[in-house]
Structure formats: structure tokens, C-alpha cells
Amino acid sequence: MIDDDIAFAGRDRCAVAGIGQTEFSRDSGRSVLSLAVEASRKALADAGLDVSDVDGIVRCEQDTVTPYSLAAALGASNLAYWADTGPGGVAPCMMMGLAMGAVLSGQAKTVLAFRSLNGRSEARLGSGDQRTAGQRVGGFGTYDEFYLPYGLISAGQTFALMARRHMIEYGTTAEHMGAVALACRAAANRTPHAQMGSRAMTMDDYLASRMISSPLRLFDYCLESDGACAVVITSAERARDLPRHPVLIRAVAGGAPPDLRPGMMFPVTTREDMTDLGGRRAADALWRRAGVGPSEVDIAQLYDCFTVSVILQLEAFGFCGRGEGGPFVASGAIRHDGSLPINTGGGHLSEGYVHGMNHIVQAVRQLRGEADMQIPDAELCLCTGGPLPVGSSVLFRRA
Amino acid sequence: MLIPNTTDRDTGGFFAAAAEGRLVYRACDDCGAALHPPTACCPHCGGENTSWHDAQGTGTLHSWTTIHQSVHPEYTAPYTLVLVTLDDTPEVRLMGRIDGEPELEPGMTMQVWFETVADGVVLPQWRPA
């Protein structure tokens, strides 16, 4: 055990009381607002609560659905607290912190946290910036003027530069990244609702997939998806009186890397050590606040926008040493029968990309014992948030 | 082409120098730290006095990626993005673009050149020395 962080008053005092999700697809045929309503209604029904109980809504700043629109569409007229967090996939873990803060400070009793996107049929996240030729780009603190004019457009290209650097420094290989893709695919193959649920993948399939932005191949990329997820957070005390077995929020923590640079995603490439993540600092705080260390974690839902981000986060959160992420994943440790099963619903790579929120839902399923690919006797599940430019994390515990 | 905003208050000096064929970086006048991406205040000493300095224009290749699938109509695959760490100011790492799939090695020496992308707008670019 690591020393307690006495400044963190939230340990085990809040819980996820309900979860909900829509179908994950390539084309929902519906608005993001209607997706958010469906996921929220399901989460409330799961929690045994009524829409009139909702007094708080938190969201990702990139969501086009605002808390007020969702409240209006749900008929949640008791809305009294709302907040946005981010950036992007960092948001879901930070949402757990916002919800906890609202509940523990008395600003809300029942907080909905959601993410809704038509990430395939409407706003493809992998497309990056799509402004037209001749248009001025960057400035105003974005620092995009140093990158977009060169043709650095997307997150995949940025992670490709990080992956190459990790290969140069530590000898990480394509097969290492393939091991992450295969672990997620194998989990999806045991998860009926996963978008890749019925499609197997071998290492040969992985290596044969077309190069997109070297060294990253098609199967290093997550699935741009349409879909929504929502969870209901309330006090642990109240959750005990609700129908579902509560899953406690043991601790939350965000973190910035030691060499943080201004701007959003692209300036990560200017860090002296661009494969070190803010997640390392988040992990330091998380383990301290939780009073446990990485060796006590049963399952991890690691933010897998790309395979390489899993390797980097395994290092950042202390499951292996710096540079050892490749051999760690190749050892089989991350498979369902390994020492640290990851992304047990298939993750962003093979279940669907709901920008980190489906990882939260999957963590709750595992700790309730109702996942499709259930890991036996799981008590602690880590979730991490999008690794750039800062990192986030939440540790859930079975009550 | 996507044309850079060249008049940002913190970064415009980089592009003003490039238009004159000079590669510059911003640095703190008080502690000397190079500040990239450029800022008007120094996170190392808290200083608020900064100025632009000439760099010698050589660097080492830190990482690269070859784009095989275009994601923007203005940038047609294949092309290669290179990250170059300045030899005289290793705190500064800059991007360049090379057409096609060049043979590259980590740590190789790179040389700056200047590409005019619009009237009065110039990007520093990099190629193997």
C-alpha cells in the first residue's frame, strides 16, 4: 500500500448507480441529441431513478449536445448544476471528478455524465482540420500555424510521430502494436454489441492491413463510430438504496507532463520526451489517492485511440517500466487471461469509439459482474483518458 | 495549401523572419531559455521580456511519418512529415514536409530551406543535408 493522500476527501464516497448506451454503428441515422437522450434514459432506468431526479449534467466540451439541451430533451427540469471538461477523450475520467465534486459539495445529488457523437456519419474525428485551401490557419493560441500548413492534420499522424520515436528509442515493433490490436479484437469477439464482434483478427491480418501514416496501419486506428454512453453518479450512501450493485469511485486524478507545451495536440511533438505522458503525473496522484498501486488493479480500460497509446499508458501508469510497453503487451499480460486484462469490451479499437465514455460503462459492467467477457473476481478497474496533451484517470472499486 | 496565420502576437515574428529567409526562435531575455512554441512570457523564470534570435538552420531528425492515406484534399499522399531538433537550440523542434517516401534515418543531419506558399508567406522546410 502507498500512503494515503489525506487531501483527497472523495475516496469511495460516490458511486456509479446506472449505465446506458446506444447501439454503436457507422451511421446512427439519428441526431446526437436523440442518441444522448436514449443513453441517458437507459442509465436512469438502470439506476432506478426518474428524470426528475437529475439535477446535474456534465459533458465533454467537444460534444455538440449541451447540458441544457439534454435537460430540455429529457424533461429534466430540476437541472441545477452543469459543467464541461476536456480536452476530447480526456473528458470522461474528468467528468467523474466533476460529478463527485458536485455531489460532495452539495451542488447536485444525481449527476448524468454523457458523451454522444456521430463520429462516423457526421463529424469524422479522424479527418482532422478540413478548412479549405488558402484559408489562414492557426494563431490565437492554437499554434496550429506551425503544423497544419505542413500537412500535419490528424491525431493519427501525431501518434504516428510518437510511435516512430518510441520505436527509435526502445525498439518497439509493429508486432508489439499488433498485440494491442489483437487483445482488443479478442475481447470484441466475446462482446456481441462490439462493432467488430464477429470479425476475428490474426497477427498476419494486422501486419497485412494497409499503412495509413507510418508506422501506423489501419488496425492501429480506433473505429470512428456513431453512438452515445451515459452514466449516473450519486453518493455512495444513496447508491446503496438503489437497485443496482453500486460501483464506487475510488479515486480520480488528472495530470500534466513535466514538459507541457502550449497549444492542443500538435505541440506535443516539441516536448523533449514526446512519448512521456501526462498520465504519469495522473497515475502518481491516483495511486496515492486510492491507497493502492498498479499491481493491485484487476482490469484496465486504457484509452486506445491508437494501439500505441495503450503501450505508452501502460508505462505511464506504472504497469511496466519506460520503454517496456512493447514486450509487456507481447507477453500476453493484457489478454483476458493475463495479469492485466485491458479493454474488455473491445475498446475503441474494436468495440466503438465513444471518446472514452464506453470505457467507463465497460468498467462498471465488469465490477458488477455482468460483462460479456467477464473477468472473474474483479474488484478494481482503472480507466484512463485520452493521452494528449494532458492525462486523466479514474479507479473504480466494487462495493 | 493551408496558409499560416502570420500575424499572431506571439508567433508572428517567426513567419516575418521566414519571409526574409531567416530561421528564428523566441527566447527569454532574462534567463535565456528558448520558448517554443513561442510565448511572450517565460515559464522558467517568470520573465516577460523576450526577443527573436537567429538559428543556424541545421538540425537532427527526431521522428517522421509517411502519410499513405490523404486526410485533407490539399495534401496528397504520399508525403512525409519530419520533426527536426535544432542543433544550436535543442529546446526547439520544428516540422517539415518532404514529398514522397524519402530514405530517412533517426539522428540524420537536416538542413533548412524556405518555401514560399503565398504572397509574402514563407515556411521553413527541412531536407537531409
CB–CB contact B123 A150 (8 Å): yes
Half-sphere exposure of B89 (CA within 13 A, CB side): 21
What gap in Å lies between CA A240 and CA A36, rounded to an integer? Answer: 26
Evaluate whether A291 touches A2 at the Cβ level (below 8 Å): yes
Cell 441544457, residue located: A68
Cell 503487451, residue located: A329
* Segment A380-391 mean pLDDT: 94
Residue A5, pLDDT score = 54
Query: Is B99 contained in some domain?
Result: yes
By three-state DSSP, how is residue A96 classified? helix
Q: Which of residues 49-88 of A touch B (CB under 8 A)?
A: none
What lies within 8 Å, CB to CB, of A293 at 6+ separation is: A1, A2, A287, A318
For residue A144 the three cell numbers come to: 496550429
Q: To which H or E segment does residue A362 belong?
A: helix A357-368
What gap in Å lies between CA B3 and CA B116, rounded to an integer? Answer: 10
Half-sphere exposure of A235 (CA within 13 A, CB side): 11
> pLDDT tens for residues A279-292?
999 999 999 999 99
For A325-349, the DSSP string reads HHHHHHTTTTSTTSSS-B-TT-HHH
Residue B2: name the closest of A212, A128, A261, A270 by CA. Answer: A128
How far is the alpha carbon of A125 from chain B, nearest alpha carbon, in Å? 11
> pLDDT tens for residues A328-378?
999 999 999 999 999 999 999 999 999 999 999 999 999 999 999 999 999
What lies within 8 Å, CB to CB, of A44 at 6+ separation is: A18, A20, A50, A51, A53, A54, A112, A232
B11, closest residue in chain A (CA to CA): A139
What lies within 8 Å, CB to CB, of A71 at 6+ separation is: A54, A57, A77, A79, A82
Query: Is B17 contained in some domain?
Result: yes
What gap in Å lies between CA B86 and CA A89, rounded to an integer? Answer: 32
Tell me, rounded to whole angstroms, the distance of Cα A387 from its chain centroid: 9
What do you get for the CA distance between the two ends of chain A, in Å? 19
State yes or no: pLDDT of A229 exceeds 50: yes
> pLDDT tens for residues B92-129?
999 999 999 999 999 999 999 999 999 999 999 999 99
What rounded mean pLDDT belongs to chain A? 95
By three-state DSSP, how is residue A16 classified? strand
On the question of a cis peptide bond just before residue A92, with omega within 30 degrees of 0, the verdict is no
What percent of chain A clears pLDDT 90, i.e. is strictly above it? 93
Residue A125, pLDDT score = 79
**What residues make up the domain containing B120?**
12-128
Q: Is A269 on the interface with B (CB under 8 A)?
A: yes
CB–CB contact A269 B93 (8 Å): yes
What gap in Å lies between CA B120 and CA B6, rounded to an integer? Answer: 10
Q: Is A213 on the interface with B (CB under 8 A)?
A: yes
> pLDDT tens for residues A199-227?
999 999 999 999 999 999 999 999 999 99
Residue of A145, A209, A274 for testing the chain B interface, max B β-carbons within 10 Å: A145
State yes or no: pLDDT of A6 exceeds 70: no
Residue A124, pLDDT score = 85
How far is the alpha carbon of A349 from chain B, nearest alpha carbon, in Å? 19
3-state secondary structure A52-78: HHCCEEEEECCCCCCHHHHHHHHCCCC
Total domain count for chain B? 1
Evaluate whether A283 touches A254 at the Cβ level (below 8 Å): no
Q: Is B93 on the interface with A (CB under 8 A)?
A: yes
Residue of B65, B69, B117 for testing the chain A interface, max A β-carbons within 10 Å: B65
Q: To which H or E segment does residue A381 belong?
A: strand A380-385
Residue A1, pLDDT score = 40
Query: Is B49 contained in some domain?
Result: yes
Out of B4, B69, B81, closest to residue A151 by CB = B81
Evaluate whether B93 touches B84 at the Cβ level (below 8 Å): yes
Residue A59, pLDDT score = 98
Respond yes or no: is residue A221 known to be catalytic.
no
* Segment A3-22 mean pLDDT: 85
CB–CB contact A141 B79 (8 Å): no
Query: Is B81 contained in some domain?
Result: yes
What gap in Å lies between CA A14 and CA A364, rounded to an integer? Answer: 13
What lies within 8 Å, CB to CB, of A346 at 6+ separation is: A184, A185, A187, A188, A189, A191, A194, A195, A196, A197, A352
What lies within 8 Å, CB to CB, of A367 at 6+ separation is: A247, A378, A379, A381, A396, A397, A398
Query: Is B53 contained in some domain?
Result: yes
Query: Is B84 contained in some domain?
Result: yes
* Segment A165-192 mean pLDDT: 98
What gap in Å lies between CA A321 and CA A387, rounded to an integer? Answer: 17
Amino acid identity at B43: P
Q: Is B83 on the interface with A (CB under 8 A)?
A: yes
Out of A133, A151, A269, closest to residue B79 by CB = A151
Out of B10, B74, B94, closest to residue A133 by CB = B74
Instruction: Tell me the C-alpha to C-alpha distance, in Å, between residue A287 and each of A22, A253, A398, B6, B22.
Output: 32, 9, 17, 44, 48
Out of A136, A156, A270, closest to residue B5 by CB = A136
State yes or no: pLDDT of A92 exceeds 70: yes
Residue of A135, A146, A157 for testing the chain B interface, max B β-carbons within 10 Å: A146
Residue A208, pLDDT score = 98
**Contacts of residue B6 in chain A, CB cutoff 8 Å?**
145
Residue A172, pLDDT score = 98
What gap in Å lies between CA A319 and CA A336, rounded to an integer? Answer: 16
Query: Is B38 contained in some domain?
Result: yes
Evaluate whether A298 touches A376 at the Cβ level (below 8 Å): no
Burial class (CB in 10 A: 0-12, 13-18, 19+), B100: exposed
**pTM of whole model > 0.90?**
yes
Q: Is A153 on the interface with B (CB under 8 A)?
A: yes
A160, closest residue in chain B (CA to CA): B65
> pLDDT tens for residues B22-69?
999 999 999 999 999 999 999 999 999 999 999 999 999 999 999 999
What gap in Å lies between CA B34 and CA A228, rounded to an integer? Answer: 44
Q: Is A209 on the interface with B (CB under 8 A)?
A: no
How far is the alpha carbon of A200 from chain B, nearest alpha carbon, in Å? 24
Q: Is A257 on the interface with B (CB under 8 A)?
A: no
State yes or no: pLDDT of A382 exceeds 60: yes
**Contacts of residue B7 in chain A, CB cutoff 8 Å?**
139
Count other C-beta atoms under 10 Å from residue B20's C-beta.
9
State yes or no: pLDDT of A112 exceeds 80: yes
- In angstroms, what is the C-alpha Rg of chain B? 15
Query: Is B23 contained in some domain?
Result: yes
Sign, Cα dihedral of A37, A38, A43, A47: positive
Residue A158, pLDDT score = 97
**Contacts of residue A214 in chain B, CB cutoff 8 Å?**
65-66, 68
Out of B8, B93, B95, closest to residue A152 by CB = B95
State yes or no: pLDDT of A7 exceeds 70: no
